[in-house]
Amino acid sequence: MTKMPNYISTTNACKLCKPLGACLAFRGIEGAVSYLHGPQGCATYMRRYIISHYNEPVDIGSSSLSEKHAVYGGAANLKLGLKNITNKYQPKMIGIATTCLTETIGDDVPMILEEYKKEFGTENSPLTVNVSTPSYSGTHMEGFHAAVASVVEQLAGKSADNETINLLPGFVSSADYRHLREIMDDFSLQATILPDLSETLDGPALLEYEKVPQGGTPLHSISQMGGARTTIEFGRTIVNKTTAGSILEKNFSVENSPAGLPIGISETDRFFEILTALSGKSMPEKYEKERGRLVDAYVDAHKYVFGKKAIIYGEEDLVVGLTSFLAEIGVQPILCASGGKSGSFKEAIRLVTEGVMDEQPKVYEGMDFFDIAEEAETLAPDLLVGHSKGYPLAGNLNIPLIRVGFPIHDRIGGQRILHLGYRGAQILFDTVVNSLIEKKQNDSGIGYSYM
Protein backbone atom coordinates (compact mmCIF):
# COMPACT_ATOMS: atom_id res chain seq x y z
CA MET A 1 0.00 0.00 0.00
CA THR A 2 1.37 3.38 -1.03
CA LYS A 3 1.86 5.79 1.85
CA MET A 4 0.24 9.19 1.25
CA PRO A 5 2.61 12.20 1.54
CA ASN A 6 2.29 14.21 4.74
CA TYR A 7 1.94 17.51 2.91
CA ILE A 8 -0.67 19.29 0.84
CA SER A 9 0.49 20.66 -2.50
CA THR A 10 -0.86 23.83 -4.09
CA THR A 11 -2.28 23.19 -7.55
CA ASN A 12 -3.55 26.66 -8.52
CA ALA A 13 -2.95 29.20 -5.79
CA CYS A 14 -5.62 31.65 -4.65
CA LYS A 15 -2.96 34.16 -3.62
CA LEU A 16 0.09 35.98 -4.95
CA CYS A 17 3.60 36.30 -3.58
CA LYS A 18 4.51 38.38 -0.55
CA PRO A 19 7.07 40.76 -2.13
CA LEU A 20 4.56 41.68 -4.85
CA GLY A 21 2.31 43.17 -2.17
CA ALA A 22 5.25 45.09 -0.73
CA CYS A 23 6.06 46.56 -4.15
CA LEU A 24 2.48 47.78 -4.47
CA ALA A 25 2.55 49.41 -1.04
CA PHE A 26 5.83 51.21 -1.77
CA ARG A 27 4.39 52.44 -5.06
CA GLY A 28 1.84 54.46 -3.09
CA ILE A 29 4.48 56.63 -1.39
CA GLU A 30 5.74 59.96 -2.73
CA GLY A 31 8.87 59.67 -4.86
CA ALA A 32 9.39 55.99 -4.02
CA VAL A 33 10.90 53.24 -6.15
CA SER A 34 10.33 49.58 -5.28
CA TYR A 35 13.39 47.34 -5.16
CA LEU A 36 13.59 43.57 -4.81
CA HIS A 37 16.64 42.01 -3.22
CA GLY A 38 16.63 38.78 -5.17
CA PRO A 39 16.80 37.29 -8.69
CA GLN A 40 15.84 39.31 -11.76
CA GLY A 41 12.97 36.92 -12.51
CA CYS A 42 11.07 37.98 -9.40
CA ALA A 43 11.02 41.63 -10.46
CA THR A 44 10.06 40.73 -14.04
CA TYR A 45 7.18 38.53 -12.92
CA MET A 46 5.81 41.15 -10.52
CA ARG A 47 6.12 44.00 -13.02
CA ARG A 48 4.20 41.97 -15.59
CA TYR A 49 1.47 41.08 -13.10
CA ILE A 50 1.00 44.64 -11.88
CA ILE A 51 1.15 46.20 -15.35
CA SER A 52 -1.52 43.88 -16.76
CA HIS A 53 -3.96 44.99 -14.03
CA TYR A 54 -3.24 48.72 -13.94
CA ASN A 55 -2.19 49.27 -17.57
CA GLU A 56 0.50 51.64 -16.30
CA PRO A 57 4.30 51.37 -16.63
CA VAL A 58 5.85 49.99 -13.44
CA ASP A 59 9.57 49.90 -12.70
CA ILE A 60 10.91 47.59 -9.99
CA GLY A 61 14.61 47.50 -9.22
CA SER A 62 16.41 44.23 -8.62
CA SER A 63 19.68 42.94 -7.16
CA SER A 64 19.71 40.43 -10.05
CA LEU A 65 21.20 37.63 -7.97
CA SER A 66 22.47 34.46 -9.63
CA GLU A 67 23.66 31.03 -8.50
CA LYS A 68 26.97 32.52 -7.35
CA HIS A 69 25.22 34.90 -4.94
CA ALA A 70 23.24 32.03 -3.46
CA VAL A 71 26.59 30.77 -2.19
CA TYR A 72 28.49 33.98 -1.43
CA GLY A 73 25.61 36.32 -0.56
CA GLY A 74 24.05 39.27 -2.35
CA ALA A 75 25.44 42.25 -0.40
CA ALA A 76 27.59 43.58 -3.24
CA ASN A 77 24.73 43.41 -5.74
CA LEU A 78 22.32 45.09 -3.32
CA LYS A 79 24.70 48.02 -2.82
CA LEU A 80 25.42 48.37 -6.53
CA GLY A 81 21.73 48.19 -7.36
CA LEU A 82 20.87 50.90 -4.83
CA LYS A 83 23.57 53.12 -6.30
CA ASN A 84 22.25 52.58 -9.81
CA ILE A 85 18.65 53.26 -8.79
CA THR A 86 19.72 56.46 -7.01
CA ASN A 87 21.60 57.74 -10.06
CA LYS A 88 19.00 56.75 -12.64
CA TYR A 89 15.75 57.62 -10.86
CA GLN A 90 16.80 60.10 -8.17
CA PRO A 91 13.98 58.86 -5.91
CA LYS A 92 13.06 60.28 -2.53
CA MET A 93 12.75 56.78 -1.10
CA ILE A 94 13.70 53.24 -2.06
CA GLY A 95 11.52 50.48 -0.65
CA ILE A 96 13.52 47.24 -0.40
CA ALA A 97 11.69 43.92 -0.14
CA THR A 98 13.42 40.57 0.21
CA THR A 99 12.58 37.45 -1.77
CA CYS A 100 12.68 33.72 -1.03
CA LEU A 101 16.29 33.39 -2.16
CA THR A 102 17.76 36.17 0.00
CA GLU A 103 15.78 35.09 3.04
CA THR A 104 16.90 31.47 2.57
CA ILE A 105 20.59 32.32 2.30
CA GLY A 106 20.25 34.66 5.27
CA ASP A 107 21.27 38.08 3.88
CA ASP A 108 21.08 40.65 6.70
CA VAL A 109 19.56 43.56 4.78
CA PRO A 110 19.53 46.11 7.65
CA MET A 111 23.24 45.45 8.23
CA ILE A 112 24.01 45.75 4.51
CA LEU A 113 22.15 49.07 4.39
CA GLU A 114 24.24 50.38 7.29
CA GLU A 115 27.37 49.37 5.40
CA TYR A 116 26.02 51.09 2.28
CA LYS A 117 25.48 54.36 4.17
CA LYS A 118 29.03 54.26 5.54
CA GLU A 119 30.50 53.55 2.11
CA PHE A 120 28.50 56.07 0.08
CA GLY A 121 27.33 58.56 2.73
CA THR A 122 23.82 59.86 3.29
CA GLU A 123 24.09 63.32 1.72
CA ASN A 124 21.64 63.64 -1.18
CA SER A 125 20.78 59.96 -0.76
CA PRO A 126 17.17 58.75 -0.74
CA LEU A 127 15.56 57.32 2.35
CA THR A 128 15.53 53.54 2.50
CA VAL A 129 12.90 51.28 4.03
CA ASN A 130 13.40 47.52 4.18
CA VAL A 131 10.91 44.75 4.81
CA SER A 132 11.21 40.97 5.09
CA THR A 133 8.88 39.32 2.58
CA PRO A 134 9.76 35.73 1.66
CA SER A 135 6.89 34.25 -0.34
CA TYR A 136 6.94 31.01 1.60
CA SER A 137 5.81 32.87 4.73
CA GLY A 138 2.63 34.53 3.47
CA THR A 139 0.52 36.12 0.75
CA HIS A 140 0.73 39.37 -1.20
CA MET A 141 -1.65 40.96 1.31
CA GLU A 142 0.66 40.08 4.18
CA GLY A 143 3.52 41.59 2.18
CA PHE A 144 1.47 44.74 1.61
CA HIS A 145 0.65 45.15 5.31
CA ALA A 146 4.25 44.33 6.30
CA ALA A 147 5.58 47.03 3.96
CA VAL A 148 3.19 49.66 5.33
CA ALA A 149 4.13 48.67 8.88
CA SER A 150 7.84 48.97 8.02
CA VAL A 151 7.32 52.42 6.50
CA VAL A 152 5.63 53.60 9.68
CA GLU A 153 8.17 51.95 11.97
CA GLN A 154 11.19 53.33 10.09
CA LEU A 155 9.94 56.78 8.99
CA ALA A 156 7.25 57.97 11.42
CA GLY A 157 8.39 59.96 14.41
CA LYS A 158 6.95 61.65 17.46
CA SER A 159 5.82 65.03 16.20
CA ALA A 160 3.77 67.78 17.78
CA ASP A 161 0.16 66.79 18.32
CA ASN A 162 -1.94 67.67 15.29
CA GLU A 163 -5.49 67.25 14.01
CA THR A 164 -4.56 64.76 11.32
CA ILE A 165 -6.29 61.38 10.99
CA ASN A 166 -4.17 58.43 9.89
CA LEU A 167 -6.20 56.36 7.43
CA LEU A 168 -4.76 52.93 6.58
CA PRO A 169 -7.12 51.43 3.97
CA GLY A 170 -5.05 48.40 3.02
CA PHE A 171 -4.89 47.30 -0.61
CA VAL A 172 -7.85 48.71 -2.53
CA SER A 173 -8.28 50.12 -6.03
CA SER A 174 -7.04 53.51 -7.21
CA ALA A 175 -10.68 54.59 -7.49
CA ASP A 176 -11.23 53.55 -3.86
CA TYR A 177 -8.29 55.68 -2.67
CA ARG A 178 -9.71 58.69 -4.55
CA HIS A 179 -13.14 58.14 -3.04
CA LEU A 180 -11.69 57.86 0.47
CA ARG A 181 -9.92 61.19 0.00
CA GLU A 182 -13.20 62.73 -1.13
CA ILE A 183 -15.02 61.35 1.90
CA MET A 184 -12.41 62.66 4.35
CA ASP A 185 -12.50 66.09 2.72
CA ASP A 186 -16.31 66.17 2.88
CA PHE A 187 -16.13 65.51 6.62
CA SER A 188 -13.53 68.32 6.89
CA LEU A 189 -10.97 65.85 8.23
CA GLN A 190 -7.31 66.26 7.37
CA ALA A 191 -6.10 62.76 6.60
CA THR A 192 -2.83 61.00 5.89
CA ILE A 193 -3.83 58.08 3.67
CA LEU A 194 -1.08 55.44 3.61
CA PRO A 195 -0.39 54.25 1.02
CA ASP A 196 -2.09 56.24 -1.75
CA LEU A 197 -2.23 54.57 -5.17
CA SER A 198 -4.84 56.98 -6.53
CA GLU A 199 -2.41 58.68 -8.94
CA THR A 200 0.76 56.59 -8.97
CA LEU A 201 -1.01 53.62 -10.60
CA ASP A 202 -3.81 55.43 -12.42
CA GLY A 203 -2.37 58.66 -13.74
CA PRO A 204 -3.21 60.79 -16.77
CA ALA A 205 -1.56 60.46 -20.17
CA LEU A 206 1.66 62.49 -20.32
CA LEU A 207 3.78 63.77 -23.19
CA GLU A 208 6.94 62.60 -21.44
CA TYR A 209 7.51 59.46 -19.39
CA GLU A 210 7.97 60.02 -15.66
CA LYS A 211 10.44 57.58 -14.14
CA VAL A 212 8.87 58.22 -10.73
CA PRO A 213 5.19 59.18 -11.09
CA GLN A 214 3.65 62.08 -9.22
CA GLY A 215 1.42 61.35 -6.24
CA GLY A 216 1.60 59.00 -3.30
CA THR A 217 1.55 59.69 0.42
CA PRO A 218 3.89 62.62 1.17
CA LEU A 219 6.98 61.62 3.14
CA HIS A 220 6.54 64.68 5.37
CA SER A 221 3.04 63.48 6.29
CA ILE A 222 4.39 60.02 7.16
CA SER A 223 6.95 61.57 9.48
CA GLN A 224 4.11 63.36 11.32
CA MET A 225 1.89 60.30 11.83
CA GLY A 226 3.06 59.87 15.41
CA GLY A 227 1.28 63.09 16.40
CA ALA A 228 -2.08 62.32 14.78
CA ARG A 229 -5.41 62.35 16.63
CA THR A 230 -6.21 58.76 15.80
CA THR A 231 -5.69 55.98 13.26
CA ILE A 232 -8.43 54.26 11.28
CA GLU A 233 -7.20 50.91 9.96
CA PHE A 234 -9.33 48.77 7.66
CA GLY A 235 -9.28 45.01 8.09
CA ARG A 236 -11.21 42.55 10.24
CA THR A 237 -8.67 39.75 9.85
CA ILE A 238 -5.63 41.77 10.97
CA VAL A 239 -6.80 42.13 14.56
CA ASN A 240 -4.01 41.27 17.04
CA LYS A 241 -1.43 41.40 14.25
CA THR A 242 1.59 43.71 14.15
CA THR A 243 0.28 46.34 11.75
CA ALA A 244 1.04 49.98 11.05
CA GLY A 245 -1.89 50.96 13.28
CA SER A 246 -0.67 48.86 16.20
CA ILE A 247 2.88 50.25 15.81
CA LEU A 248 1.59 53.84 15.94
CA GLU A 249 -0.43 52.98 19.02
CA LYS A 250 2.48 51.26 20.76
CA ASN A 251 5.24 53.74 19.87
CA PHE A 252 3.34 57.04 19.93
CA SER A 253 0.07 56.32 21.82
CA VAL A 254 -2.01 57.14 18.74
CA GLU A 255 -5.36 55.42 19.30
CA ASN A 256 -6.18 52.82 16.67
CA SER A 257 -9.80 52.52 15.52
CA PRO A 258 -10.07 49.30 13.47
CA ALA A 259 -12.91 48.91 10.98
CA GLY A 260 -13.92 46.50 8.26
CA LEU A 261 -13.57 47.43 4.61
CA PRO A 262 -16.61 49.69 4.04
CA ILE A 263 -18.31 47.59 1.36
CA GLY A 264 -22.12 47.63 1.40
CA ILE A 265 -24.44 49.53 3.71
CA SER A 266 -23.63 47.91 7.06
CA GLU A 267 -19.85 48.25 6.91
CA THR A 268 -20.03 51.72 5.34
CA ASP A 269 -22.40 52.84 8.08
CA ARG A 270 -19.83 51.79 10.68
CA PHE A 271 -17.08 53.74 8.91
CA PHE A 272 -19.24 56.86 8.63
CA GLU A 273 -20.14 56.61 12.33
CA ILE A 274 -16.42 56.83 13.14
CA LEU A 275 -16.03 59.87 10.89
CA THR A 276 -19.09 61.54 12.40
CA ALA A 277 -17.66 61.13 15.89
CA LEU A 278 -14.24 62.43 14.85
CA SER A 279 -15.51 65.42 12.89
CA GLY A 280 -18.46 66.38 15.07
CA LYS A 281 -20.43 66.71 11.83
CA SER A 282 -23.45 64.76 10.69
CA MET A 283 -23.20 62.76 7.48
CA PRO A 284 -22.99 65.15 4.48
CA GLU A 285 -26.20 65.33 2.49
CA LYS A 286 -24.71 63.82 -0.66
CA TYR A 287 -23.89 60.60 1.20
CA GLU A 288 -27.34 60.51 2.77
CA LYS A 289 -28.73 60.64 -0.77
CA GLU A 290 -26.30 58.00 -2.04
CA ARG A 291 -27.36 55.72 0.81
CA GLY A 292 -31.03 56.37 0.09
CA ARG A 293 -30.63 55.60 -3.61
CA LEU A 294 -28.80 52.40 -2.71
CA VAL A 295 -31.61 51.26 -0.40
CA ASP A 296 -34.10 52.04 -3.18
CA ALA A 297 -32.05 49.94 -5.61
CA TYR A 298 -31.97 47.04 -3.15
CA VAL A 299 -35.77 47.11 -3.04
CA ASP A 300 -36.18 47.48 -6.80
CA ALA A 301 -34.00 44.53 -7.74
CA HIS A 302 -34.49 42.24 -4.74
CA LYS A 303 -36.50 39.78 -6.82
CA TYR A 304 -33.53 39.16 -9.13
CA VAL A 305 -30.97 38.39 -6.43
CA PHE A 306 -32.84 36.88 -3.50
CA GLY A 307 -31.79 33.31 -2.79
CA LYS A 308 -29.01 33.22 -5.36
CA LYS A 309 -25.89 31.41 -4.17
CA ALA A 310 -22.38 32.82 -4.44
CA ILE A 311 -18.81 31.69 -3.98
CA ILE A 312 -16.50 34.53 -2.92
CA TYR A 313 -12.71 34.20 -3.05
CA GLY A 314 -9.60 36.36 -2.87
CA GLU A 315 -7.90 38.49 -0.21
CA GLU A 316 -9.36 37.77 3.21
CA ASP A 317 -10.59 41.24 4.16
CA LEU A 318 -12.01 41.88 0.71
CA VAL A 319 -13.90 38.58 0.92
CA VAL A 320 -15.24 39.60 4.35
CA GLY A 321 -16.50 42.93 3.01
CA LEU A 322 -18.04 41.35 -0.09
CA THR A 323 -19.72 38.67 2.00
CA SER A 324 -21.30 41.34 4.20
CA PHE A 325 -22.56 43.15 1.08
CA LEU A 326 -23.93 40.03 -0.64
CA ALA A 327 -25.70 38.83 2.50
CA GLU A 328 -27.47 42.16 2.94
CA ILE A 329 -28.77 42.20 -0.67
CA GLY A 330 -30.25 38.70 -0.33
CA VAL A 331 -27.55 36.65 -2.06
CA GLN A 332 -26.52 33.59 -0.05
CA PRO A 333 -22.72 33.25 0.31
CA ILE A 334 -22.12 29.49 0.35
CA LEU A 335 -18.33 29.40 0.23
CA CYS A 336 -15.81 32.04 1.35
CA ALA A 337 -12.28 31.07 0.33
CA SER A 338 -8.85 32.65 0.57
CA GLY A 339 -5.25 31.65 0.14
CA GLY A 340 -4.44 33.61 3.29
CA LYS A 341 -4.04 32.00 6.70
CA SER A 342 -4.72 34.77 9.21
CA GLY A 343 -6.59 32.54 11.64
CA SER A 344 -9.26 35.24 11.94
CA PHE A 345 -11.06 34.71 8.63
CA LYS A 346 -13.91 32.48 9.84
CA GLU A 347 -14.68 34.65 12.85
CA ALA A 348 -14.66 37.79 10.70
CA ILE A 349 -17.19 36.20 8.30
CA ARG A 350 -19.37 35.23 11.26
CA LEU A 351 -19.34 38.76 12.66
CA VAL A 352 -20.49 40.41 9.42
CA THR A 353 -23.21 37.85 8.66
CA GLU A 354 -24.58 37.23 12.16
CA GLY A 355 -28.26 38.11 12.29
CA VAL A 356 -28.42 38.46 8.51
CA MET A 357 -28.06 34.84 7.40
CA ASP A 358 -29.78 31.79 8.86
CA GLU A 359 -26.94 29.50 7.81
CA GLN A 360 -23.24 30.31 7.83
CA PRO A 361 -21.26 29.75 4.63
CA LYS A 362 -18.37 27.34 4.41
CA VAL A 363 -15.21 29.30 5.23
CA TYR A 364 -11.73 28.04 4.30
CA GLU A 365 -8.28 29.54 4.69
CA GLY A 366 -5.27 28.39 2.66
CA MET A 367 -7.41 27.27 -0.29
CA ASP A 368 -6.38 27.07 -3.92
CA PHE A 369 -8.60 26.98 -6.99
CA PHE A 370 -8.42 23.19 -7.25
CA ASP A 371 -10.05 22.99 -3.80
CA ILE A 372 -12.58 25.69 -4.68
CA ALA A 373 -13.54 23.84 -7.87
CA GLU A 374 -14.06 20.58 -5.96
CA GLU A 375 -16.34 22.33 -3.45
CA ALA A 376 -18.24 24.12 -6.22
CA GLU A 377 -19.26 20.82 -7.83
CA THR A 378 -21.60 20.05 -4.92
CA LEU A 379 -22.63 23.60 -3.95
CA ALA A 380 -24.27 24.60 -7.26
CA PRO A 381 -23.44 28.34 -7.11
CA ASP A 382 -25.20 30.93 -9.24
CA LEU A 383 -22.23 33.27 -9.43
CA LEU A 384 -18.56 33.67 -8.55
CA VAL A 385 -17.24 36.86 -6.98
CA GLY A 386 -13.51 37.49 -7.15
CA HIS A 387 -10.59 38.35 -9.42
CA SER A 388 -9.75 37.12 -12.91
CA LYS A 389 -8.10 33.87 -11.83
CA GLY A 390 -11.61 32.49 -11.31
CA TYR A 391 -12.47 32.87 -15.01
CA PRO A 392 -11.81 29.22 -15.99
CA LEU A 393 -13.94 27.96 -13.08
CA ALA A 394 -16.80 30.31 -13.99
CA GLY A 395 -16.63 29.01 -17.55
CA ASN A 396 -16.73 25.37 -16.42
CA LEU A 397 -19.71 26.08 -14.18
CA ASN A 398 -21.39 28.28 -16.80
CA ILE A 399 -22.10 31.04 -14.27
CA PRO A 400 -21.24 34.76 -14.18
CA LEU A 401 -17.97 36.00 -12.70
CA ILE A 402 -18.22 39.34 -10.87
CA ARG A 403 -14.71 40.75 -11.20
CA VAL A 404 -13.46 42.56 -8.14
CA GLY A 405 -10.15 43.05 -6.34
CA PHE A 406 -6.74 42.16 -7.79
CA PRO A 407 -5.73 40.97 -10.33
CA ILE A 408 -8.14 41.80 -13.15
CA HIS A 409 -6.22 40.55 -16.19
CA ASP A 410 -8.98 39.84 -18.70
CA ARG A 411 -10.83 43.17 -18.59
CA ILE A 412 -9.81 46.81 -18.84
CA GLY A 413 -10.12 49.19 -15.88
CA GLY A 414 -9.44 46.97 -12.88
CA GLN A 415 -7.86 49.93 -11.10
CA ARG A 416 -11.05 51.96 -11.60
CA ILE A 417 -13.46 49.47 -10.02
CA LEU A 418 -15.02 51.24 -7.05
CA HIS A 419 -15.70 48.85 -4.15
CA LEU A 420 -16.00 51.16 -1.14
CA GLY A 421 -18.75 53.35 0.27
CA TYR A 422 -22.39 53.59 -0.74
CA ARG A 423 -21.29 54.62 -4.23
CA GLY A 424 -19.12 51.54 -4.62
CA ALA A 425 -21.90 49.28 -3.32
CA GLN A 426 -24.27 50.79 -5.90
CA ILE A 427 -21.89 49.91 -8.72
CA LEU A 428 -21.33 46.39 -7.38
CA PHE A 429 -25.06 45.86 -6.88
CA ASP A 430 -25.93 46.91 -10.43
CA THR A 431 -23.15 44.66 -11.77
CA VAL A 432 -24.41 41.63 -9.82
CA VAL A 433 -28.04 42.14 -10.82
CA ASN A 434 -27.31 42.76 -14.48
CA SER A 435 -24.99 39.74 -14.66
CA LEU A 436 -27.74 37.50 -13.30
CA ILE A 437 -30.30 38.97 -15.72
CA GLU A 438 -27.91 38.50 -18.65
CA LYS A 439 -27.31 34.88 -17.65
CA LYS A 440 -31.06 34.26 -17.60
CA GLN A 441 -31.47 35.87 -21.02
CA ASN A 442 -28.62 33.87 -22.52
CA ASP A 443 -30.01 30.62 -21.14
CA SER A 444 -33.51 31.27 -22.43
CA GLY A 445 -34.57 29.60 -25.66
CA ILE A 446 -36.78 32.54 -26.62
CA GLY A 447 -35.15 35.35 -24.64
CA TYR A 448 -36.89 38.42 -23.35
CA SER A 449 -36.21 42.13 -23.81
CA TYR A 450 -38.14 43.57 -20.88
CA MET A 451 -37.51 42.87 -17.21
- Tell me the C-alpha distance between 151 and 27, whole Å: 12
With vertex at residue 94, the alpha carbon angle to CA 88 and CA 99, rounded to the nearest 5 degrees, is 110
Residue 127 pairs in a beta bridge with 93
Residue 35 has a pLDDT of: 97
Confidence of residue 8 (pLDDT cuts 50, 70, 90): low
pTM of the entire predicted model = 0.95
pLDDT in tens, 117-132: 999 888 889 999 999 9
Residue 313 pairs in a beta bridge with 337
Q: Which is it for the CA torsion 147, 149, 152, 153, positive or negative? A: negative
DSSP assignment of 307-345 equals T-EEEEESSHHHHHHHHHHHHHHT-EEEEEE-S---S-H
pLDDT in tens, 166-200: 999 999 999 999 999 999 999 999 999 999 999 99
Confidence of residue 1 (pLDDT cuts 50, 70, 90): very low
Residue 272 has a pLDDT of: 98
Residue 7 has a pLDDT of: 52
- What average pLDDT score do residues 322-328 get? 98
Tell whether the model's pLDDT for residue 362 goes beyond 90.
yes
Longest dimension (CA), the chain: 76
pLDDT in tens, 367-392: 999 999 999 999 999 999 999 999 99
Q: Dihedrals φ, ψ of 215, to 5°? A: 105, -170
- What average pLDDT score do residues 201-217 get? 93
Q: Dihedrals φ, ψ of 248, to 5°? A: -65, -35
Average confidence score pLDDT of the chain: 94
Write the Ramachandran bin of 215: left for phi over 0, alpha for psi from -120 to 50, otherwise beta.
Answer: left
Confidence of residue 71 (pLDDT cuts 50, 70, 90): confident
- What average pLDDT score do residues 426-449 get? 92
CATH architecture of the domain formed by 165-279:
3-Layer(aba) Sandwich (3.40)
DSSP 129: E
Say if CB 23 and CB 46 are below 8 A apart. Answer: yes
Assess whether the region 18-155 and the region 165-279 belong to the same CATH fold.
yes
pLDDT in tens, 257-307: 999 999 999 999 999 999 999 999 999 999 999 999 999 999 999 999 999
Confidence of residue 449 (pLDDT cuts 50, 70, 90): confident
Q: Dihedrals φ, ψ of 209, to 5°? A: -70, 130
- In 3D space, the residue among 212, 189, 446, 240 whose CA is nearest the CA of residue 343 turns out to be 240
Say if CB 337 and CB 371 are below 8 A apart. Answer: yes
- Tell me the C-alpha distance between 64 and 77, whole Å: 7
Tell whether the model's pLDDT for residue 82 goes beyond 50.
yes
Domain ranges, ordered by start, for the chain: 18-155, 165-279, 297-443
- What average pLDDT score do residues 417-423 get? 98
**pLDDT higher for 279 or 10?**
279
Confidence of residue 9 (pLDDT cuts 50, 70, 90): low
Q: Which CATH class is domain 18-155?
A: alpha beta
Residue 184 has a pLDDT of: 98
Please give the CATH superfamily to which domain 297-443 belongs: Nitrogenase molybdenum iron protein domain (3.40.50.1980)
- What average pLDDT score do residues 15-28 get? 96
Residue 53 has a pLDDT of: 96
Residue 12 has a pLDDT of: 81
With vertex at residue 279, the alpha carbon angle to CA 154 and CA 243, rounded to the nearest 5 degrees, is 25
- Tell me the C-alpha distance between 200 and 213, whole Å: 6
User: Which are the contacts of 81, defined by CB distance < 8 A and separation ≥ 6?
Assistant: 35, 61, 62, 63, 64
Residue 3 has a pLDDT of: 53
